[in-house]
Amino acid sequence: MSNQSTPSGPARSLQFGQVVIGPPGSGKTTYCRGMQEFLGQLGRKVVVVNLDPANEGLPYPCAVDVGELITLDDVMDSLKLGPNGGLIYCMEYLEANLDWLEAKLRSLGDCYFLFDCPGQVELYTHQSCVKNIFAQLAKWNFRLTAVHLVDSHYCADPAKFISVLCTSLSTMLHVELPHVNVLSKMDLVEQFGRLAFNLDFYTEVLDLSYLLGHLGADPFFKKFARLNEKLIELIEDYSLVSFVPLNVQDKQSMAQVMRVVDKANGYCFGDLEQRSLEAMMSAAVGADFHFSSTLAVQEKYLHPGEKTVGDEVMDL
């Protein structure tokens, strides 16, 4: 199966954008819609490209939809595959028909691109088809940042958070793009219980040995203590994983993610866009931005006088 497509015609100008990846339910489609609206208000010409053949009823205007080429339902019906095997087949089919994608992208001209990608984790940790598609986009002069969304409620469970860190690290190494990890749905994290540590412990991925003490309280994880210790050492040895908190309905949070992504792929922040952002921050944007600052979420988990991780270190 061919996985290369040779660009035709004159070389296209440099294009910037994001490939939005992450597990199912992490909020990728919601993020694409919110970021499209947010950047549009700043004056960027933004288009969304749906690369997820399982996406139906898209909530945003879609400039290119892989569903025109292949859909997961059709593959499952015709080849009698399950959802995981069917999704891998769909992405391999797209990889073999990159000329279709190239023609669609060329017709859009100079834009800022948001690629809404499938949610199957194996596509970004084991399979090569999506990685090859991203590599071909780079050959077509796209300068992209991988925005990896992770549901913030995993922070409330130390075992799941360690698993998320391992998945994020594996994805970063496999995809081979400038990478930004995002803790999504920060406005909902309080529904899943109080965090054991201050928010910066999770976003900056500080001394993870503190998590082992919380794992030890669960009898199920006592026999895996050595394994979890080695996983934590592996994550800290690479020292690559950190997170940006995101509440897609908070303009300050969206601006923070935008700046980190722009820095990762080298997008030039123009004067007009800067003035638009300053005006947006100093005035009410509308009903979609009525949430408090995302970073204030951490204060809700700390009782007066409670020690943070940093305080515990000072006491040792």
Judged on CB neighbours under 10 Å (0-12, 13-18, 19+), 9 is exposed
Confidence of residue 284 (pLDDT cuts 50, 70, 90): very low
Alpha-carbon distance values, 30 to 35, 114, 208, 232 (Å): 8, 12, 30, 31
pTM listed for this prediction: 0.83
- Tokens at residue 172, please? 């970063």
Q: What are the residue boundaries of the structural domains of the chain, listed by start?
A: 15-207+241-270+281-306
- Predicted local distance difference test score (pLDDT) of residue 177: 96
Confidence of residue 291 (pLDDT cuts 50, 70, 90): very low
pLDDT tens-digit readout, 183-234: 999 888 877 777 878 888 889 988 888 888 777 666 777 778 888 889 999 9
Residue 299 has pLDDT above 70, yes or no: no
> Amino acid identity of 44?
R
Percent of the chain scored above 90 by pLDDT?
58
Residues 265 and 169: beta-carbon distance below 8 Å = no
Q: Strand 243-245 and strand 179-184: pairing?
A: parallel
Determine which of 81-95, 147-161, 301-315 has the lowest per-residue pLDDT on average: 301-315
pLDDT tens-digit readout, 136-192: 999 999 999 999 999 998 888 888 899 999 999 999 999 999 999 999 998 888 777
- Predicted local distance difference test score (pLDDT) of residue 293: 47
Alpha-carbon distance values, 279 to 45, 56, 251, 275, 276 (Å): 18, 35, 12, 6, 5
Residue among 206, 229, 231, 197 nearest 216 (CA): 229
- Predicted local distance difference test score (pLDDT) of residue 53: 95
**pLDDT, the chain, mean:** 84
- Tokens at residue 306, please? 């409670």
Residue 302 has pLDDT above 90, yes or no: no
pLDDT tens-digit readout, 239-278: 899 999 999 989 999 999 999 999 999 886 655 677 677 7
User: Residue 271 CB: number of other CB atoms within 10 A?
Assistant: 7
Q: Check residue 109 and give left, alpha or beta (phi > 0: left; psi -120 to 50: alpha).
A: left
Residues 36 and 50: beta-carbon distance below 8 Å = no
- Predicted local distance difference test score (pLDDT) of residue 7: 46
The DSSP secondary-structure symbol of 46 reads E
- Predicted local distance difference test score (pLDDT) of residue 216: 63
C-alpha to C-alpha distance for 58 and 269, rounded to whole angstroms: 29
Confidence of residue 316 (pLDDT cuts 50, 70, 90): very low
Which is the CATH superfamily of the domain at 15-207+241-270+281-306? P-loop containing nucleotide triphosphate hydrolases (3.40.50.300)
C-alpha to C-alpha distance for 242 and 229, rounded to whole angstroms: 19
Percent of the chain scored above 70 by pLDDT?
82
C-alpha to C-alpha distance for 70 and 54, rounded to whole angstroms: 9
Residue among 266, 280, 150, 162 nearest 213 (CA): 162
